[in-house]
C-alpha cells in the first residue's frame, strides 16, 4: 500500500509541474512539444486509472487534487485539437472521470466525489493565469464543458445519483445546498476582487467564474436534482431539505426587476451593470438561478404528492403552489391564489413570469446578437413550464365555472382571472415564437447546412446554432402546450417551417437516385425533428395542423414547381378541362419518342441553373413523399381534394415536358422529370384511399380522372428508351412502379365509383318505395341509367385502348423490344384495376344482390369481361405457348373483330361444368415456351416478368368476379393454361438455390394471387374428382413455402411480427410469404369438404417426416454429424403450413377440429423427430458465405419454429390432447438444445464447417432461449400432473438454462474463444427464465417438496458454484 501511495504521489507531482508549464495555453509552442505534452498526459491518466483499479485508497482524502489534474489535462487536450493523439487522450480523461463517479457510487460516497469535483473546479480557476487575453479564460471554460457536459459523463453522474440509497437522498440535497452557498461566495469574492483592483485581468477572472458557474457547475447541480429518487419513505426529509435550498436561492432573485435594471444578489452583494458587472456575467448567474428554480419546483412537486395531506399543504405554501393540491371546488373561494406562479414566492414585489422574461431578455441580447444562448433556452423552458400551469388552470377553471351561477360574484372574478391567464399565455407563446424566428436564420434549412444537436444535449454547452436546434426541437415536441394560444400567423409560419425543414435534407442521392434513404446521423438535425413531427399522429390531433397543412403544403409545392418550370406559368390550384388536356397529350404522343441518342446535359455549371433545378426536383420529391408518410386518418376530404388537384396539375405539366423535352426551350433532365412523375402517381392512390375512408357514405365521387391516368401512362410508357445507359436499371424500376401505382389508383377510384353508383341505385329505390301519392300519368326517370353512365364510360375507354393496343401487337413482339410489352402491360394494369375495384365493391352482399338484378349493368360487365378475357387469352397463347397458330392473330379493325375472334373459346365450359376444367388441368399436355419462362424466372426479361404478373392478377380478378356474380361465360381452358404456367414457374422457384431477382416478385405475387382465388372454387368441385388436383396445389404451396424459409435463413419465423427487414429482397420475400400463407388458408375455408381437409393434413404430415411424392429420396431429414443435421425445404414448408392450420383452428374454424384431433399425436411426434435430428451446436450459427447457402433451410430456424408450434399446442389443451410421452419430450427439449451452447467454441466449430464461413447469431440464441422458457412455463401451467411426474427433467432443463446465464462476458481459455452473451442479452434471457421460476412458485403446493430445489439451484449458481464458476451478475 505504501509503495502504491508513493507511485501515486509521484504521478501527482509530475502532473503539477506540467500544469505550471501552462501547456494548455502554449499557442506558440512547437507541434512536437504539444505532442510530448499530450503523450505524457495520456500516460499519467492511464497509470492513475490502473492504480485506482488496483487499490482506490491510494487517493486517500486528496480527491480534489485528482480532479484538478483531470481538469488541467482536459484544458491541455482542448488547446491541442490539431495534435495527433488528442482524441485518445480525451477518451482516457473521460474514462477516468466516469471511473471516479462510479467508484464512489459503489462505495456509497458519491456526494464526497461530487463536492471534491466542485471545489477543484472553483480552485483551479484561480490558477488559469494572469493573461489579459479573454481567449485563454474562454478556452478553459470550454474545456471543462467538453468534459463535464459530455453525454457519457452526465449519464454516469445521473446513474450514480439514482443509485443513492433512499435514506441518503436528503443528505445529498443538503450537501448540494452547501456547495451552492460556497459557489455563490466564490462569485462574491471574485466580484469584490474585481471592484477593488479594477484591472482587466480581475474582470476576466470574475467573468470566468460566472461562466464556469453557469456553464459547468449548474449542469452538475441540475443532474443531481433531476436524478434524485423520491419515495414515500424519504419524501418528508427531502421536502425539508428542499425548503432549505429555496432559502438559499430566494435572496438572489428577490430584487431582480425592482429597479430599472436587472439586479442579482449574491451573498448580500448586488450584481448589476451599475456595480460594474457586465451583462454576460449576469446572464450566466441567472442561468444558474433559473435552472435551479425549474428543477427544484419539479422535484418539490414529486415530494408533495407523496407526503401526508397536512404536510403537503404546508409545503405548497413554501412553493406558492396551493392550487395544485386543492380541488377545483375550492378555487373559487381562494382569493389570492391566482397570482401564484414560478416567481411569486421569490421576487418582491410579485411579478409575472412574462414581465421577468422581458426584463431579462433586454440584457441577454445586444444588437440582435445573443450574448448567452443557454439563458435564452432557459427562458423558453420557464415560459413552457408556466404555459403548462396556465393550461391546467384555464381548463379546470372553465370546467368548474360551468356548474356555478353566472351572477355569482366569485364566478365573475374568476372569469376575469381566466381572461388574464389567457392573455398571459398569449404573451408567453408570442415570446416563444419570436425567439424561434429571431434565432432561426434561413441557412438552417439550406441543403448544405450541417450540424445538429445531441439527443441528450447539455444546456451549458449551447452556442447560437445549437440553441436554434434546441428551440426547434422543444417547440415541435411540445406543440400541444402552446398551439392553442398562438396567433394564426405564427401557426402558419411554424407549419411552413416544419414542411421546409422536412425537405431540407438534399444530397446527391436525392438528386440522382430513385430511392429516399433514411438519414442516420449521430446528431438530431432540423430535418429529423420536422420529419418526426409530421410522422407523429399526436401532431395531427392539433386542430391547426389539419386546418393549415394542405394550404401550406400546396403553397410550398407551387413555389418549388415554379422554380423548375419558370416559363410555364401553370397555376396548380385550377381544375383543368381533362377532355382538352387528354386531346393535347394524344397529339403530342403521336410524335415518336426514341430513335435518337440522348445527350447527358451538363449538371454542374451554375450559370445555366441546372444545379438549382436539381435541388428543386429533389425538394418536390421530398414534398410528395411527405404526403405518403402522413397518417391517412387525418386527411380530410377537402384537403385530399386539394392535394389531388395540385398533383394532377403537376402530372399534366410533367407529361407535357416529357413529350416536348427535345425542343430547345426545355433543358430539363427527362429522367428527373419521369422520376417526379412516378412519385406523383405514387401519392395519388394514398390520397384516393384516404378520401374513400372519409367519404364512406358515398355522397360524392372520387376526384381522380381515370381516363387521364390511362392516357398519360400510355403517352410516357415508351420514354424509357430515351434515358442514358447509366440509368437503365433505375428507369426499369421506375416504369414498373408507374404501372403499379396507376393500377392501384384505378382500383381505388373505380371501387369508389362503383360503390357510389350502386349505392345511389339502392338509395334511389328506397326513396321510390316511399312515394305513395304520385299524380296520375307521372313518369319516373330511369335513375339507374344516369347513375351508370360514368361506369359505362370507363369500360368504353378501356375497350378502345385495349383494341388499339392489340392492333399493333405482332407475333414476334419479343424480338422488337420492350415498348410493346410495356404498352400492353399498361392496358392490362388499368383493366385489372377496374375489375378488382368492382370485385372489392361486390364483397358487400347487398351490392352484389342488387347488381345481379340490374340487367343492363350485368350485360355491360359481361361484355367487358368477355372482351378482356379474349384479349388476355390471345396474349397468353401468343406469348407463352409454342403451338400458337399465327393465323389466329387479330387484325386491326373495329371493336367487333376482337369479340368474334375464334380463340377456341366457343367450346369452353361455363361455371356449371367445372369438371371439364379439372380434367383439362390434370391431363393436358401443353408446349410452353420454356426458354421465355426461364428468362422470366431468372429476371433476365423484366418487361415480360411484369407483363406476366399483370396477366395473373387480371385472371384472378375474373375468377373472383365469377364467384361473386356468375359471369355468363368464362374461358376455363385459358385458366388451365394459366395454372400450368404458374405451376412451372413456382416449381422452378422451389428448386432454385439463389436469392430471386427482384423482378421475379412481379410474377410470383401474381401467380400466388391466382392460386388463392382458384382455391375458393374447390368447395364447388366434386371432391373425388378434384382430390388429385387439390393435393397437387397443396404440395406446390408446401414446396414454395419451404423455399421461402430457405431464402430467409436465420430470419425465418412463423410470422413476420418483430422481424427486421435488412434489405429490399427480404422485405419483398416477407410480403410474398404472407401472401402464400393467405393462399394456403384459402384452400381450407369453412365450406371445404372433409376429403379435401384430410388431403391437407396428410400432405403436411408426409412433409414433416420428409417424404415427398415423386422424389426418389423418400426421407429428407438427415441426422448429420456431431454438429447437427439438416432437413429439406419441403420439411420446413410443412412446419410453416402446420402453423397456419393450427391458427385457423384457434381463430374459430371449427370444421378443422375433428380432422386435426385425429392426427395431432402424429404431427407432434414428427416435430420432435425434426428437433432430435437437428439439435447440435450448428443451430446457433449463421452461415454467411456458404457455397449453397439457400439450398436448405437454416437448421436453427427450423428448430425454433418447431419449439414455437409445440408451445402453441401445449397452450391449448382443449383442442390438442398430447400424450404423456410428448410432455416428457417438451420438458427435455430446452435442456437438450442449450447444453450445446455451454460447450460452444467458435474456433472448433469454424474448423469443422470447412469451406463455409459462419458467425454466431446472438439474436437467434436469445429468441430460442425465450421460446424455450415459454415452453416450460406452458407445460407447468397447463400440464401440471404430467410435469410433476417428470420433475427431474424440468429441473435439468432449468439448470441448463440457468448455467447459460453465467457466461456473460467473453473469456479466453487455452487460446479459444468460448460463447458469451452481452449483458443486455443476458438480462433479456434472465427475465424469460424468471417467469419459469414464478410459475413454479405459483404451483408450489402442487410440486410440494420439489419447489425448493429450483431456488437452491439458483442460489448455488448465483454464488459462483455453477459449471463456469462465474456466478450471476446482479442485473
pLDDT digits (tens, 9 = 90+) for 656-672: 888 876 544 455 678 88
Read off the pLDDT of each residue in 826-836 and give the average, rounded to a whole number: 90
pLDDT band for position 1086 (50/70/90)?
confident
Region 951-961: mean pLDDT is 92
DSSP string, 509-533: HHHH-S--PPP--SSB-HHHHHHHH
- For residue 498 the three cell numbers come to 416544419
How far apart are the C-alpha atoms of 480 and 540, rounded to whole Å?
10
Q: Where are the alpha helices (DSSP H) in 1175-1318?
A: 1195-1211, 1220-1238, 1242-1249, 1258-1278, 1280-1285, 1287-1300
Start-to-end CA distance of the chain, whole Å, equals: 32
- Whether 516 contacts 510, CB under 8 Å: yes
- Main-chain dihedrals φ then ψ at residue 299, nearest 5 degrees: -70, -40
Assess whether pLDDT exceeds 70 at residue 446.
no
The backbone torsions φ and ψ at residue 1215, rounded to the nearest 5 degrees and listed phi first, read -90, -35
Check: CB of residue 149 under 8 Å from CB of residue 220: no
229-238, 792-801, 856-865, 999-1008: the lowest-pLDDT one: 792-801
Look-up: residue for cell 426479361? 941
Mean of pLDDT values over 679-696: 80
Return the closest-CA partner of residue 66 out of 84, 40, 48.
Answer: 48
The model's pLDDT over 1031-1061, given as tens digits with 9 standing for 90+, comes to 999 999 999 999 999 998 888 888 755 454 4
**Phi and psi at residue 1241, in whole multiples of 5°?**
-140, 120
pLDDT band of residue 1312 (cuts 50, 70, 90) is very low
Strand partners, 1314: 1241
Q: What is the mean pLDDT of residues 949-969?
A: 87
> Could you please report the per-residue DSSP string of 1149-1199?
-GGGHHHHHHHHHHHHHHHHHHHHHH-SGGGGEEESS-TTTTTS--HHHHH
The three cell numbers of residue 15 are 502532473
Please give the pLDDT value at position 451.
62
Helix locations, 478-609, DSSP H: 479-482, 488-502, 508-512, 526-535, 537-540, 543-564, 578-589
When pLDDT is cut at 50, 70 and 90, the band that residue 513 belongs to is: very low
Q: What is the mean pLDDT of residues 158-178?
A: 92
| Integer Cα distance of 1154 and 1215 in angstroms | 9
Per-residue pLDDT, averaged over 1320-1346, amounts to: 85
User: Is 865 or 127 the better-scoring residue by pLDDT?
Assistant: 865
Residue 203: which residues within 8 A CB-CB, separation 6 or more?
A: 194, 278
DSSP 1314: B
Q: Give the integer Cα–Cα distance in Å for 1353 and 1368.
A: 12
Which cell is 509 given?
442521392
Nearest to 1208 by CA among 1259, 1162, 1159, 1140: 1140
Q: Across residues 799-826, what is the average pLDDT?
A: 66
Torsion angle of the four alpha carbons 698, 699, 704, 708, in this order, in degrees rounded to the nearest 10: 110
Q: Say if residue 798's pLDDT is above 80.
A: no
Query: Could you tell me if 1076 and 1137 are in contact, meaning their C-beta atoms sit under 8 angstroms apart?
Result: no
Give the model's pLDDT for residue 176: 94
Distance, in Å, from the CA atom of 554 to the CA atom of 644, rounded to the nearest integer, reads: 10
The 10 Å Cβ neighbour count of residue 732 is 18
Give residue 744's pLDDT.
Answer: 93
Query: To which residue does cell 452557498 refer?
Result: 181
Q: What is the DSSP string of 347-376?
A: SSS---HHHHHHHHHHHHEETTEES-HHHH
The predicted-structure confidence for 288-331, as pLDDT tens digits, reads as follows 999 999 999 899 888 988 888 888 777 877 776 666 666 655 65
Element (H, E) at 603: none
Average pLDDT over residues 98-105: 91
The pLDDT, as a whole number, for residue 135 is 60
Question: Considering the chain, what percentage of its residues have pLDDT values greater than 70?
Answer: 77
Cα separation of 865 and 835, whole Å? Answer: 8
Question: Can you give the pLDDT at residue 694?
Answer: 56
The reported pLDDT for the residue numbered 904 is: 35
CA distance 778 to 786: 19
Q: Is the dihedral of CA 1336, 1337, 1339, 1342 positive or negative?
A: positive
Average pLDDT, the chain: 79
Q: How far is residue 1237's CA from residue 1316's CA, in Å, rounded to a whole number?
A: 9
Total residues belonging to the chain: 1371
Predicted structure pTM score: 0.81
Do the strands 264-266 and 269-271 form a parallel or antiparallel pair, or are they unpaired? antiparallel
Q: Is the pLDDT of residue 1080 over 90?
A: yes
Residue 381 banded pLDDT, cuts 50, 70, 90:
very high
Pairing status of strand 1308-1309 against strand 1254-1256: unpaired
Return left, alpha or beta for 584; rule: phi > 0 is left, psi -120 to 50 is alpha, else beta. alpha
Residue with cell 436561492: 249
- CB neighbours of 984 closer than 8 A, spacing ≥ 6? 928, 930, 933
Contact 1098, 1138 (CB under 8 A): no
pLDDT at residue 1351 tops 60: yes
Predicted local distance difference test score (pLDDT) of residue 682: 93
Give the three cell numbers for residue 658: 416529357
For the record, the C-alpha cell of 1182 comes out as 449463421
Radius of gyration of the chain (CA): 38
Look at residue 891 in the predicted model and tell me its pLDDT: 31
Q: Which cell numbers hold the place of 652? A: 399534366
Q: Where are the alpha helices (DSSP H) in 661-780?
A: 670-694, 706-716, 728-770
Q: Is 1041:1072 a contact under the CB 8 Å cutoff?
A: no
| Cell numbers placing 1172 | 432430435
Write the pLDDT tens digit of every residue in 171-215. 999 999 999 999 999 998 888 877 666 666 777 888 889 999 999
* pLDDT of 1257 higher than 50: yes
Cα–Cα nearest to 465, from 477, 453, 457: 453
Q: How far apart are CA 873 and CA 911, in angstroms?
A: 18
Compute φ and ψ for 1330, nearest 5 degrees.
-60, -35
Cβ-contact 1182, 1257 below 8 angstroms: yes
d(CA 110, CA 388): 34
| Residue 323: per-residue pLDDT | 60
pLDDT digits (tens, 9 = 90+) for 773-796: 445 554 444 444 444 566 667 777
**CA 806/CA 809 separation, integer angstroms:** 5
**Orientation angle between helical segments 1220-1238 and 1258-1278, nearest 10 degrees:** 150
Selection from 80-89, 792-801, 928-937 with the highest mean pLDDT: 928-937
Amino acid at each position: 500500500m505504501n509503495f502504491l501511495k508513493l507511485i501515486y504521489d509521484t504521478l501527482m507531482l509530475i502532473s503539477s509541474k506540467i500544469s505550471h508549464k501552462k501547456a494548455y495555453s502554449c499557442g506558440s509552442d512547437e507541434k512536437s512539444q504539444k505532442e510530448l505534452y499530450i503523450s505524457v498526459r495520456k500516460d499519467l491518466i492511464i497509470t492513475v486509472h490502473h492504480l485506482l483499479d488496483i487499490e482506490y485508497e491510494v487517493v486517500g482524502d486528496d480527491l480534489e487534487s485528482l480532479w484538478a489534474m483531470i481538469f488541467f489535462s482536459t484544458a491541455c487536450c482542448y488547446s491541442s485539437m490539431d495534435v495527433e493523439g488528442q482524441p485518445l487522450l480525451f477518451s482516457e480523461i473521460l474514462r477516468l472521470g466516469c471511473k471516479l463517479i462510479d467508484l464512489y457510487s459503489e462505495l456509497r460516497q458519491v456526494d464526497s466525489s461530487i463536492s471534491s469535483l466542485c471545489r477543484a473546479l472553483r480552485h483551479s480557476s484561480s490558477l488559469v493565469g494572469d493573461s489579459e487575453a479573454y481567449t485563454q479564460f474562454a478556452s478553459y471554460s470550454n474545456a471543462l464543458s467538453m468534459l463535464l457536459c459530455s453525454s457519457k459523463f452526465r449519464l454516469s453522474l445521473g446513474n450514480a445519483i439514482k443509485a443513492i440509497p433512499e435514506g441518503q437522498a436528503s443528505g445529498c440535497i443538503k450537501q448540494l445546498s452547501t456547495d451552492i452557498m460556497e459557489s455563490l461566495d466564490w462569485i462574491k469574492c471574485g466580484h469584490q476582487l474585481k471592484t477593488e483592483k479594477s484591472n482587466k485581468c480581475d474582470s476576466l477572472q470574475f467573468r470566468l467564474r460566472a461562466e464556469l458557474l453557469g456553464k459547468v457547475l449548474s449542469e452538475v447541480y441540475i443532474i443531481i436534482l433531476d436524478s434524485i429518487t423520491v419515495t414515500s419513505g424519504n419524501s418528508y426529509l427531502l421536502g425539508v431539505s428542499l425548503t432549505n435550498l429555496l432559502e438559499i436561492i430566494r435572496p438572489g432573485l428577490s430584487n431582480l426587476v425592482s429597479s430599472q435594471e436587472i439586479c442579482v444578489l449574491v451573498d448580500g452583494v448586488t450584481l448589476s451593470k451599475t456595480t460594474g458587472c457586465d451583462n454576460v456575467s449576469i446572464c450566466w448567474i441567472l442561468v444558474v438561478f433559473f435552472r435551479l428554480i425549474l428543477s427544484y419546483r419539479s422535484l418539490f412537486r414529486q415530494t408533495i404528492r407523496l407526503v401526508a395531506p397536512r404536510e403537503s399543504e404546508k409545503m405548497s405554501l413554501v412553493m406558492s403552489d396551493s392550487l395544485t393540491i386543492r380541488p377545483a371546488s375550492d378555487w373559487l373561494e381562494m382569493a389570492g391564489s391566482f397570482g401564484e406562479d414560478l416567481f411569486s414566492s421569490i421576487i418582491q414585489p410579485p411579478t409575472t413570469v412574462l414581465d421577468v422574461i422581458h426584463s431579462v431578455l433586454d440584457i441577454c441580447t445586444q444588437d440582435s446578437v445573443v450574448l448567452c444562448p443557454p439563458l435564452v433556452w432557459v427562458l423558453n423552458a420557464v415560459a413552457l413550464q408556466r404555459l403548462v400551469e396556465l393550461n391546467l388552470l384555464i381548463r379546470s377553471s372553465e370546467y368548474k365555472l360551468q356548474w356555478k351561477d353566472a351572477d355569482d360574484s366569485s364566478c365573475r372574478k374568476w372569469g376575469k382571472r381566466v381572461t388574464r391567464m389567457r392573455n398571459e399565455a398569449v404573451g408567453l407563446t408570442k415570446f416563444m415564437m419570436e425567439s424561434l424566428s429571431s434565432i432561426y436564420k434561413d441557412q438552417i434549412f439550406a441543403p448544405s447546412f450541417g450540424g445538429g444537436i445531441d439527443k441528450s444535449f447539455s444546456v451549458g454547452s449551447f452556442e447560437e446554432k445549437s440553441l436554434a436546434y434546441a428551440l426547434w426541437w422543444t417547440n415541435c415536441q411540445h406543440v400541444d402546450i402552446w398551439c392553442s394560444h398562438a396567433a394564426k400567423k405564427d401557426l402558419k409560419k411554424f407549419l411552413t417551417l416544419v414542411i421546409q425543414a422536412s425537405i431540407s435534407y438534399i444530397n446527391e442521392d436525392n438528386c440522382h437516385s430513385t430511392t429516399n434513404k433514411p438519414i442516420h446521423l449521430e446528431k438530431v438535425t432540423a430535418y429529423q425533428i420536422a420529419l418526426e413531427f409530421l410522422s407523429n399522429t399526436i401532431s395531427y390531433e392539433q386542430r391547426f395542423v389539419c386546418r393549415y397543412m394542405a394550404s401550406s403544403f400546396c403553397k410550398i409545392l407551387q413555389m418549388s414547381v415554379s422554380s423548375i418550370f419558370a416559363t410555364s406559368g401553370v397555376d396548380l390550384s385550377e381544375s383543368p378541362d381533362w377532355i382538352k388536356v387528354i386531346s393535347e397529350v394524344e397529339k403530342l404522343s403521336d410524335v415518336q419518342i426514341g430513335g435518337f441518342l440522348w445527350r447527358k446535359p451538363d449538371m454542374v455549371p451554375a450559370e445555366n441553373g441546372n444545379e438549382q433545378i436539381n435541388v428543386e426536383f429533389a425538394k418536390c420529391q421530398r414534398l410528395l413523399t411527405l404526403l405518403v408518410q402522413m397518417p391517412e386518418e387525418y386527411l380530410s376530404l377537402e384537403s385530399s381534394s386539394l392535394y389531388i388537384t395540385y398533383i394532377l396539375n403537376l402530372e399534366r405539366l410533367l407529361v407535357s415536358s416529357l413529350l416536348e423535352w427535345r425542343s430547345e426551350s426545355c433543358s430539363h433532365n427527362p429522367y428527373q422529370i419521369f422520376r417526379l412523375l412516378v412519385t406523383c402517381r405514387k401519392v395519388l392512390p394514398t390520397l384516393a384511399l384516404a378520401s374513400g375512408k372519409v367519404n364512406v357514405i358515398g355522397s360524392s365521387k372520387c376526384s381522380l380522372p381515370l381516363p387521364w391516368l390511362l392516357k398519360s401512362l400510355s403517352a410516357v410508357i415508351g420514354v424509357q428508351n430515351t434515358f442514358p445507359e447509366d440509368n437503365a436499371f433505375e428507369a426499369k424500376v421506375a416504369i414498373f412502379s408507374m404501372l403499379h401505382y396507376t393500377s392501384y389508383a384505378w382500383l381505388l377510384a373505380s371501387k369508389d365509383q362503383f360503390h357510389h353508383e350502386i349505392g345511389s341505385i339502392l338509395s334511389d329505390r328506397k326513396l321510390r318505395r316511399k312515394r305513395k301519392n304520385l299524380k296520375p300519368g307521372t313518369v319516373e326517370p330511369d335513375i339507374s341509367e344516369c347513375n351508370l353512365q360514368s361506369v359505362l364510360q370507363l369500360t368504353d375507354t378501356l375497350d378502345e385502348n385495349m383494341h388499339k393496343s392489340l392492333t399493333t401487337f405482332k407475333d414476334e413482339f419479343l424480338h422488337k423490344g420492350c415498348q410493346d410489352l410495356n404498352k400492353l402491360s399498361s392496358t392490362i394494369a388499368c383493366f385489372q384495376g377496374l375489375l378488382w375495384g368492382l370485385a372489392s365493391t361486390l364483397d358487400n352482399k347487398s351490392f352484389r344482390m342488387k347488381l345481379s338484378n340490374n340487367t343492363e349493368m350485368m350485360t355491360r360487365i359481361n361484355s367487358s369481361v368477355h372482351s378482356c378475357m379474349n384479349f388476355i387469352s390471345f396474349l397468353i397463347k401468343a406469348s407463352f405457348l409454342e403451338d400458337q397458330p399465327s393465323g389466329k392473330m387479330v387484325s386491326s379493325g373495329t371493336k367487333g373483330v376482337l369479340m368474334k375472334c375464334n380463340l377456341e373459346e366457343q367450346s369452353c365450359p361455363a361455371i356449371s361444368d367445372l369438371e371439364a376444367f379439372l380434367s383439362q388441368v390434370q391431363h393436358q399436355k401443353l408446349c410452353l415456351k420454356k426458354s421465355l419462362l426461364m428468362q422470366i424466372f431468372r429476371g433476365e426479361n423484366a418487361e415480360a416478368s411484369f407483363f406476366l404478373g399483370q396477366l395473373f392478377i387480371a385472371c384472378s380478378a375474373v375468377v373472383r368476379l365469377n364467384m361473386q356474380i356468375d359471369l355468363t361465360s368464362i374461358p376455363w381452358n385459358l385458366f388451365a393454361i394459366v395454372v400450368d404456367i404458374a405451376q412451372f414457374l413456382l416449381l422452378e422457384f422451389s428448386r432454385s438455390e439463389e436469392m430471386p431477382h427482384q423482378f421475379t416478385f412481379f410474377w410470383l405475387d401474381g401467380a400466388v394471387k391466382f392460386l388463392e382465388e382458384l382455391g375458393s372454387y374447390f368447395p364447388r368441385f366434386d371432391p373425388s374428382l378434384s382430390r388429385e388436383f387439390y393435393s397437387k396445389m397443396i404440395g406446390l404451396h408446401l414446396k414454395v413455402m419451404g423455399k421461402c424459409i430457405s431464402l430467409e435463413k436465420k430470419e425465418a419465423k412463423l410470422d413476420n411480427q418483430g422481424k427486421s427487414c435488412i434489405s429490399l429482397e427480404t422485405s419483398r420475400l416477407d410480403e410474398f410469404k404472407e401472401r402464400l400463407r393467405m393462399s394456403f388458408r384459402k384452400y381450407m375455408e369453412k365450406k371445404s369438404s372433409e376429403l379435401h381437409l384430410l388431403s391437407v393434413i396428410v400432405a403436411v404430415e408426409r412433409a414433416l417426416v420428409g417424404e415427398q411424392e415423386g422424389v426418389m429420396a423418400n426421407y429428407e431429414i438427415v441426422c448429420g454429424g456431431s454438429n447437427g443435421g439438416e432437413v429439406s425445404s419441403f420439411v420446413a414448408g410443412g412446419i410453416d403450413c402446420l402453423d397456419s392450420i393450427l391458427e385457423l383452428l384457434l381463430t374459430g374454424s371449427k370444421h378443422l377440429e375433428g380432422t386435426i384431433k385425429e392426427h395431432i399425436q402424429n404431427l407432434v411426434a414428427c416435430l420432435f423427430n425434426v428437433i432430435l435430428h437437428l439439435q447440435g451446436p450448428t443451430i446457433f450459427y449463421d452461415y454467411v458465405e456458404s457455397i449453397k447457402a439457400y439450398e436448405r433451410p437454416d437448421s436453427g430456424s427450423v428448430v425454433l419454429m418447431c419449439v414455437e408450434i409445440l408451445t402453441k399446442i401445449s397452450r391449448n389443451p382443449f383442442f390438442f390432447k398430447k400424450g404423456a410421452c410428448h410432455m416428457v419430450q417438451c420438458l427435455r427439449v430446452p435442456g437438450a438444445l442449450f447444453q450445446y451452447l455451454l460447450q460452444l467454441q467458435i474456433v472448433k466449430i469454424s474448423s469443422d464447417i470447412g469451406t463455409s464461413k459462419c458467425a454466431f447469431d446472438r439474436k437467434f440464441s436469445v429468441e430460442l432461449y425465450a421460446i424455450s422458457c415459454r415452453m416450460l412455463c406452458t407445460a407447468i401451467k397447463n400440464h401440471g400432473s404430467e410435469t410433476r411426474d417428470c420433475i427431474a427433467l424440468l429441473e435439468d432443463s432449468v439448470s441448463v438454462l440457468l448455467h447459460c446465464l453465467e457466461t456473460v462476458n467473453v473469456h479466453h481459455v487455452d487460446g479459444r474463444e468460448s460463447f458469451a452473451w452481452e449483458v443486455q442479452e443476458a438480462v433479456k434471457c434472465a427475465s424469460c427464465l424468471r417467469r419459469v421460476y414464478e410459475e413454479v412458485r405459483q404451483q408450489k403446493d402442487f410440486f410440494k417438496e420439489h419447489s425448493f430445489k429450483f431456488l437452491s439451484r439458483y442460489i448455488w449458481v448465483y454464488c459462483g458454484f455453477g459449471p463456469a464458476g462465474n456466478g450471476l451478475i446482479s442485473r
